[in-house]
Amino acid sequence: MLEVRDLSVVFPDDTGGLEALEQMSLSVQPREFVCLLGPSGCGKSTLLRVLAGLVPPTQGSVTYQTCAHCNREPRIALVFQNANLMPWRNVLQNITLPLEMQGVEEPKAEKMARELISLVGLEGFEKNWPGDLSGGMAQRVAIARALIQDPDLLLLDEPFGALDALTRERMGTELLHIWQRSRKTVLMVTHSISEALLLSDRVLVFTPRPGRICLDLPVDLPRPRAEEVRYSPRFGELARALRQAIG
């Protein structure tokens, strides 16, 4: 699905350049859920921005294979820590926005949005304004708005980072359910070891800047997973391995 080869990113600064990523290589399989963990400033968001085409690589390459027989540009959706909803559009209208920009007819866009509203558990809130939503609800709208583009790759940059601990835990479980039903290829930045283990097939741990991958850990916890997996001995072993790698 995605192949990154020897990727380096250097941001210009007064001292000759700030190296955010150094010769990073990784690949992601279709429908895989991969989490990125690492110390603050190690280049996790930079990697997502390169993958989304927002930051150019200084060196190296990013290649997408969207499907076996087609050669189209990949569809990539990015969700940030803040939901960034349009305050003058209600929940339904926020979710249909990307389709409206593509010129999709309103009844079709609305039908698709209602299906996603059901997927993210927001039935009954279609007409609510963003200002009346909790942080968790706003992020669910942002995730639905990303999914309506039917992305080949969904990039999540600490999507629950601004939420309180309990809401964050609940949103982790909800994202697990959403992914189990949508089965998108996902790359997600998180600072939470337990969130990474609950959700992902693989966790990539970054070194301090310049970011390189120091551990590529397959998460061999059985699926479908539920909240209780956090209390299994294997979960504890994997958490210990990740903690050691982060240092």
| Separation CA 60–CA 80 (nearest Å) | 25
- Whether the CB-CB separation of 203 and 37 falls below 8 Å is answered with yes
CB of 206 to ligand ATP, least distance (A): 7
**Please, which residue, 42 or 95, has the CB nearer to ligand ATP?**
42
Shortest Cβ 127–ligand ATP spacing (Å): 34
Q: Which residues contact 156 (CB under 8 A, 6 or more apart)?
A: 78, 79, 143, 186, 187, 188, 189
Angle at 103 between CA 100 and CA 106, to 5 degrees: 55
Kindly state the smallest distance separating residue 18's Cβ from ligand ATP, in Å. 5
Give me the least distance between CB of 43 and ligand ATP, in Å please.
4
Cα separation, 6 vs 210, in Å, equals 13
Rounded to a whole number of angstroms, the minimum distance from the CB of residue 158 to ligand ATP is 7
Between 38 and 151, CB nearer to ligand ATP: 38
- Residue closer to ligand ATP by CB (options 42, 229) is 42
Q: Taking Cα atoms as reference points, which of 154, 139, 156, 147 lies closest to residue 83?
A: 139
d(CA 136, CA 163): 7
Which positions ≥6 away from 35 have C-beta within 8 Å? 187, 188, 189, 190, 195, 196, 199, 200, 202, 203, 204
Of residues 45 and 93, the one with the C-beta less far from ligand ATP: 45
Q: How far is the CB of 65 from ligand ATP (least distance, A)?
A: 25
Nearer to ligand ATP among residue 45 and residue 192 (C-beta): 45
With respect to ligand ATP, which residue has the nearer C-beta, 93 or 158? 158
**Interface contacts to ligand ATP, rule CB under 6 A:** 11, 18, 20, 38, 40-46, 209
- In single-letter form, the type of residue at position 210 comes to P
